[in-house]
Amino acid sequence: MAIKTMNMIEAINSAMDNMLERDNGVVIMGEDVGYFGGVFRATAGLQEKHGKTRVFDTPISECGIIGVSVGMSAYGLRPVPEIQFADYIYPGLDQLVSEAARMRYRSAADYICPMTIRSPFGGGIFGGQTHSQSPESLFTHMCGVKTVIPATPYDAKGLLIASIEDNDPVVFFEPKRIYNGPFSGYYDRPVEPWSKHAASAVPEEYYRIELGKASVVREGDALTILTYGTMVHVVSAVVADMGVDAEVIDLRTLLPLDIDAIEMSVRKTGRCMVVHEATRTSGFGAELAALVQERCFYSLEAPVERVTGFDTPYPHSLEWAYFPGPIRIGTAIEKIMKE
Amino acid sequence: MAEQKRTNLTPLRLHVPEPKYRPGDDVDFSDVIVPPVDAVPMPDEAVHPSLIHPLAFGMIRVLDENHKAMGSWNPNLTADRLRLMLRNMMLLRAFDDRMFRAQRQGKTSFYMKSTGEEATSVATTMALDRGDMCFPSYRQQGILITREYPMVKMMNQIYSNSADHMKGRQLPIMYSAPEYGFFSVSGNLTTQYPQAVGWAMASASKGDTRIAAAWCGEGSTAEGDFHSALTFAAVFNAPVVMQVVNNQWAISSFSGFAGSERATFAARAVGYGVAGLRVDGNDPLAVYAAMQWAANRARTNSGPTLIEYFTYRAEGHSTSDDPSAYRAAEEFAKWPMGDPVDRLKQHLIVMGEWDEARHTAQGQELADEVKTAQKEAEKNGTLGHGLHHPFESMFEDVFEHQPWHLKEQCAQMLDEQRNKFGPDWEPK
């Protein structure tokens, strides 16, 4: 296998390149994804290599993009639409919730929707409230869609390939803050590129990472921290700084969730903390906290702690006061360890 | 915050549309323009949309007041084809009547008739090729009837019984039949429009020869999906025929709430650069001709078409509403375009290819055929009375492979049944 150092964008691009080659049903479309190669360059070079009927620009209509993808799925294709920012997905929500997510069920598998919606999500790039949202809990709440969030280039490629090959609709959220490097949460420190991280070693060839399997990023005995996306790296940096023996679990797939990995870890450590960037109320952390107390109550030595974004729209100038950074995480770790 | 009134200016007024007639009113449709046959002659199928704007505002008609087929749009169908068209429309009407009654007898929860607008699903389907893909709304059961989908299977779906191949999950009439080129019907309106365009784009990108056809009602042209679909269809020159069945009523809202006071629905095509045709929807030959024209246009990569069928919903929206509560009872009787079944019947009689006796006999024969199918379907159960799919089927097909949380919830549901029916209860 030819291993190459890739950042997350390059790994995602490589996954689509492999899949366009392997499966002539794969089509990639979205706003600016064709000739230009996407506003984040995720599809750079793919139209030139695979042709305009496989990789193309679309009108600015998320309803149209997802609706057309449902129809292409019915024909037998395997569409990989891009929604330019997760914040733009709402006009396409009916086509996703009422159509794509329900097609297998409502038609008893007469029709299926093997589509993967890629979309950059999350903040930390001064994107303001319309370019920073983390709406993942909307998608875990509707039945019939899988939700995948990678945290490294290696995982991004393997998970994206598995998502494209999956015969159900997948929402694949890409944490755009870590496209170019694993963000530590210390926004005033120099940015570290992916090339210094082991997970930037990515095979150029096809490989897959099974959906629904979490990854233990750091083993530990004192505390379990459940997280995903950008926050995997922020949590890891805080844990290293504090010298706490935490077990850090990158969930990678929110639905289907790797409940075995969660239970095993919490039973071992007796403490559980959930960290996500999304707003707090009805966030995915609430689901995780409920599951842990339902299934591991007698192993718990402290209440499950939640560290999240605030229940406000994502602010622009006060971004770092909003972001669940090292101080919020550190305070929560201190609190849960005192119990 | 008190705004200072500028008394020198005209006060603004909000216009809220109101239909011409409400219950109890005398109905007079003399202001509905019924243009003569061939007022807008048939152009070449590859014509640039900008050259045929009058077709989006006029009305394509073939049958004249003497029930003769006239003009450039006359599809010149053989008597056998015309008799088949009549039979399909009559069978559809008989099916609708029987299933409406079944709902009233408590055998199912819901039904929707297509009375008065049979031509828009039957004649259109006859003008398509068998391999073309249909993306219907909820009132195009005529597609299945025309493509000879077994009526027993339609009834199994309506009854949500043990033989319903969709496992009793969908509201009655939301069929799905891939082997008959019939897409799964959604309850969310006009979602099928961009889907049809996507299917057509896929067909074109693969060098296929099959086209897509979509139906929606005039009311739901207000949905964003309609406009997304027209944009994509125009941008990618998709081989698709998009049809608006303008039956005047969206439940209790007349077509004015979708914009009919300002423009025709076919005129929506103009701004998109899509060919737009407005058709007498109760003239089965005009409906056939318009679809044939649009299908040929799509098939030769000449572009998409939007067709409006000007028709009338003779019955309620569904079994759940009472039309006498919101519109004048005699509207359909006075509808200037008449009844499509009657017009085709009269046409065949004028041709010397049909007569009253045969018509009556065929009506009886079709009613019997539907009755026989109904008896057959009821052996598989009716809703809430008898057979249904196994309880566990509720948790199937959410995903291809069942995740752990659905397995757990399924086990919980089965425990609840044991709790209800006793410990010896076995799922079946």
Residue A189: what pLDDT?
Answer: 87
Determine whether the interchain pair A71/B174 forms a contact, defined as Cβ–Cβ distance below 8 Å. Answer: no
Of A110, A144, A257, which has the smallest distance from its Cβ to B184's Cβ? A110
pLDDT digits (tens, 9 = 90+) for B377-391: 999 999 988 788 999
pLDDT value for B280: 98
What pLDDT score was predicted for residue B5?
77
Q: What tens digit of pLDDT does each residue of B214-230 get?
A: 999 999 999 999 999 99
Query: β-strands A146-148, A170-175: how paired?
Result: parallel
Selected residue of A28, A97, A110 to mutate for chain B interface (largest B Cβ count, 10 A): A110
0.90 cut: is pTM over it? yes
Q: Does B81 touch chain A (CB under 8 A)?
A: no
- Given A50, A131, A233, A276, the catalytic residue: A131
Which residues of chain B make contact with A112, given a CB cutoff of 8 A? 400
CA nearest to A69 within chain B: B198
Q: How confident is the model at residue B160 (pLDDT cuts 50, 70, 90)?
A: very high
What 3-state DSSP class applies to A154? helix
- Predicted confidence (pLDDT) at residue B244 exceeds the cutoff of 80: yes
Catalytic status, residue A131: yes
CB contact under 8 A, A99 and B198: no
- Taking CB atoms and an 8 Å cutoff, what residues of chain A touch B199? 71-72, 74-75
Which band of pLDDT confidence, cut at 50, 70 and 90, is reported for residue B17?
Answer: very high
pLDDT recorded at residue B1: 56
Counting Cβ atoms within 10 Å, is residue B321 exposed (0-12), middle (13-18) or buried (19+)? middle
Q: How confident is the model at residue B329 (pLDDT cuts 50, 70, 90)?
A: very high
In A, residues 95-114, which contact B (CB 8 Å cutoff)? 95, 98-99, 103-112
Q: What is the mean pLDDT of residues B323-327?
A: 95
What letter represents residue B105's amino acid? Answer: Q
Cα separation, A131 vs A143, in Å, equals: 26
pLDDT digits (tens, 9 = 90+) for B248-274: 999 999 999 999 999 999 999 999 999
- The reported pLDDT for the residue numbered B428 is 65
DSSP element (H, E) containing B125: helix B119-127
Flag if B404 and A106 touch (Cβ within 8 Å).
no
Amino acid (one-letter) located at B351: M
Q: Kindly indicate the confidence band of residue B2, based on its pLDDT and cuts at 50, 70 and 90.
A: low
Confidence of residue B284 (pLDDT cuts 50, 70, 90): very high
Chain A residues 133-152 within an 8 A CB cutoff of chain B: 143-144, 146
Q: Which residues of B touch A47 (CB under 8 A)?
A: none
On whether any CB of chain A is under 8 Å from the CB of B100, the answer is no
Mean pLDDT over B34-55 rounds to: 96
Any CB–CB contact under 8 A between A331 and chain B? Answer: no
Compare all CA atoms of chain B with the CA of A61 and give the residue at the minimum distance. Answer: B228
Whether B183 and A111 lie within 8 Å, measured CB to CB: yes
Per-position b or e across A64-74, b if 16+ CB within 10 A of its CB: bbbbbbbbbbb
Mean pLDDT of B336-353: 98
Res B425: pLDDT? 86
Could you write out the DSSP letters of every residue in A61-98? -HHHHHHHHHHHHHHT-EEEEE-SSGGG-GGGHHIIII
Q: Is the CB of B398 less than 8 angstroms away from the CB of A105?
A: yes
pLDDT for residue B4: 74
CB contact under 8 A, B405 and A257: yes
Residues 193-212 of A with CB under 8 A from B: 212
Q: Read off the pLDDT of residues B58-105 as tens digits, 9 standing for 90 and up.
A: 999 999 999 999 999 999 999 999 999 999 999 999 999 999 999 999
Nearest partner of A261 among A246, A251, A253, A269, judged by Cα: A251
Flag whether pLDDT at B213 surpasses 80.
yes
Q: Rounded distance, CA B120 to CA B312, Å?
A: 11
Structure-block tokens of residue A330: 């550190």
Yes or no, beta carbons of A68 and B188 under 8 Å apart: no
Range 128-147 of B in CB contact (< 8 A) with A: 133, 135
Q: Which residues of chain A have pLDDT under 70?
A: none
Q: 3-state SS of B48-108?
A: CHHHCHHHHHCCECCECCCCCECCCCCCCCCHHHHHHHHHHHHHHHHHHHHHHHHHHCCCC
Residues B155, B157, B160, B164: is their CA dihedral positive or negative? positive
Pick the closest to residue A177 from A249, A255, A245, A120 (CA basis).
A120
What is the C-alpha to C-alpha distance for residues B156 and B164, in angstroms, rounded to an integer? 5
Q: Which residues of B touch A97 (CB under 8 A)?
A: none
- A63 and B165 in contact by Cβ < 8 A? no
B203 lies within 8 A of chain A by CB: yes
CB contact under 8 A, B400 and A69: no
The Cα B242–Cα A74 span in angstroms is: 17
Contact A108 B398 (CB under 8 A): no
The Cα-based distances of B264 to B3, B15, B246 in angstroms read 38, 19, 10
CB contact, 8 Å: B403 with chain A? yes
Cβ atoms of B91 and B145 closer than 8 Å:
yes
Complex ipTM = 0.97
Residues in A 72-91 with any Cβ partner in B closer than 8 A = 72-77, 79, 91
- Arithmetic mean of pLDDT over chain B: 96
Residue of A53, A59, A146 lying closest to B205 (CB–CB): A53
CA–CA dist A316, B410 (Å, integer): 45
Q: Is pLDDT above 90 for B423? A: no
Please check whether residue A240 touches B, CB under 8 A. Answer: no
Structural element, H or E, at residue B340 = helix B340-351
Give exposure, B322-341, as e/b (b: 16+ Cβ within 10 Å): ebeebbbeebbeebebbbbb
Number of cross-chain residue pairs from A and B with Cβ atoms under 8 Å apart: 144
